[in-house]
A and B are shown apart, each in its own frame.
Chain A
Amino acid sequence: MSHEPFETLAAVYAVGALDGDDLAQFEAHLPTCAVCQAALREAQDALARAMLSTPPQAPPAEAREALVRRVGRARGADRRSWLTWAAATAVVAAAAAGFTGTWVAVRYEARLGQMARETAAVKERLARNEASLREQVALYRGAVELLRDPATRVVDLRGQGPAAAASGRMIWNDAGGGHLFVAGLPPTPAGKTYALWTIGGGIPRPAGLFGVDAAGRATHRIAPASAGAPARVFAVTVEPEGGVPTPTGPIVLASK
């Protein structure tokens, strides 16, 4: 008889389904055949791993306690010499830690990963909030500094055309620059932005680009102008995102 049929019998034996003549034949063959012993061992190992691949379930706690107590009372320590016992004991702590550690790792890896990601996100958000707060404080401080100067003017801007509901207030100092606060401006269309113009001697000069938040508000800092006539009039227009040297779009806010 060739060996091939035995390999099939080994598989059927592994799942516990061998019967009749096949069983007798295989059990007679097995002790003499290292190939079949290895095949059986591998099949049983694969089966065990497959069977243990479903999600674990904790056994009833009382059952566990009862069994651990039963083992605790059992005769056992005298089964081997004291030395063997001591040697084996030494590995227990490490083995238990390893076994449990692997187990805990598998179980909580996903959760820990998620927590780490959440923590990172919170940190990032906090850092962003802090930066934004610092920025705002610096801005208001700058505005307050400007207001101390008697030469500083406060100019109201009114909404124009489709943005009639918008309003703005400019704190302006010809030497120190200014701060523009706006409210009620609609979001700009894609590819567009708001542009501020300072107008002195009839010539509009670009004074920066800004966008508005979801509530239509914005604060915009204007650096001191280095040259040109003192600004008398202020206006906001809708312009292409890159900005333009002279106003091209519709005016949405303007001072009197």
Chain B
Amino acid sequence: MPTPGRDLIRAMAAGNRDAFAPFYDTSAPRVLPFVLRIVRDRADAADILQDTFWETWRGAAAYDPSRGTPEAWIITRARTRAIDRVRAVRRRGETFVAPVDEAGALAQLSGAQREVVELAYYSGLTQTEIAERLEQPLGTVKTRIRLALARLREVVTPP
């Protein structure tokens, strides 16, 4: 799928300030629910969104289309910041943020597959932490993640 967002990133990389507003207006409303899903707090989510999009402006020149889609580029940045926030909250001893009912493509996964993806991607747990939490062998967790991603690819790839 050709992504016009790629052209906007190229224009931002060239220093064109006019490219930022359309880039933000088309991407931010889609990224916000994702960030909110991880941090659960509107103020935190708004902060992370600001930081993420400021970073896309500053770092547009570093975007390499051969290494992934604009969506993956933005989401990866947003997630890193959101997970840092969630881990900081956990380090302060506050309670673990449990996954909520999933909408969108993740809802197409089996319960067990969705659980490992959510614990990893939204809650920021590592494979070892997930294995401990679910009381499953590490190998089982790894395989489950791999199968979940394979299924997810089927779901989001248009036939």
A residues lining the B interface (CB < 8 Å): 7-9, 11-12, 14-20, 22, 41-60, 63-64, 66-68, 70-72, 74, 76-80, 84-85, 87-89, 91-92, 94-96, 98-100, 102-103
Given the complex, which residues of B lie within 8 Å of A17, measured CB to CB? 119-121, 125-127, 130, 145
**Cα–Cα, bound, A84→B14 (Å):** 6
B interface bracket (residues with beta carbon within 8 Å of A) = 35 or more
Nearest residue (CB) in A for B102 is A54
Q: A20-B128, A54-B37, A56-B33 are in contact. Are A12 and B10 (CB under 8 A)?
A: no
Whether the pair A53, B120 counts as a contact (CB closer than 8 A) is no
Judge if B20 is at the interface, Cβ distance under 8 Å.
yes
A80–B68 CB distance below 8 A: no
Across the A-B interface, the 10 shortest Cβ-Cβ residue pairs: A88-B14, A96-B22, A95-B7, A53-B104, A50-B105, A17-B120, A56-B29, A19-B126, A76-B15, A98-B4
A47 CB contact (under 8 Å) in B46, B72, B126: B72
Interchain CA distance A43-B121 in the complex, whole Å: 12
Q: List CB contacts (< 8 Å) of B69-99 with chain A.
A: 69, 71-72, 74-76, 79, 83
Give complex CA distance A58, B83 in Å.
Answer: 21
5 A-B pairs (CB sep. < 8 Å): A11-B148, A15-B145, A19-B128, A46-B149, A74-B58
Given contacts A54-B37, A59-B28, contact A46 B11 (CB under 8 A): no
Residues B125 and A51 in contact, CB atoms below 8 Å apart: no
B14 near A79 (CB under 8 angstroms)?
Answer: yes
Would you call B50 and A55 a contact (CB within 8 A)? no
Say whether B136 faces chain A, with CB atoms less than 8 Å apart.
Answer: no
Interface of B, helix, strand, loop or mixed by DSSP: helix
Q: Would you give the shortest CB distance from B104 to chain A, in whole angstroms?
A: 4
Which of these, B29, B74, B156, contacts A58 with CB under 8 Å?
B29
Residues of A within 8 A of B76 (CB): 44, 48
- Check if B39 is an interface residue, CB within 8 A of chain A: no
In the bound complex, residues from chain A placing their C-beta under 8 Å from that of B104 are 50-51, 53-54
Which of B5, B30, B68, B105 is A56 in contact with, Cβ under 8 Å? B30
Instruction: For B50, list chain A residues within 8 Å (CB).
Output: 63, 66-67
Given contacts A87-B14, A96-B8, contact A64 B24 (CB under 8 A): yes
User: Which residues on the B side are within 8 Å of A92 (C-beta)?
Assistant: 7-8, 11, 16, 18-19, 22
B34 touches A51 (CB 8 A): yes
In the assembled complex, the Cα of A49 lies from the Cα of B13 at a distance in Å of 23
CB distance from B113 to the nearest CB of A (A): 11
Apart from A44-B75, A99-B8, list 17 A-B contacts with CB within 8 A. Answer: A12-B142, A12-B145, A45-B71, A47-B149, A48-B75, A51-B104, A53-B156, A54-B33, A57-B29, A67-B50, A76-B15, A79-B61, A80-B15, A92-B18, A96-B22, A96-B26, A99-B23
- A71-B30 contact, Cβ under 8 Å, with A14-B149, A96-B8: no
Tell me which of A55, A59, A72 contacts B17 (CB under 8 A).
A72
Contacting residues, chain B, for A87 (C-beta < 8 A): 14
Q: What CA separation (Å) do A95 and B22 show in the bound complex?
A: 9
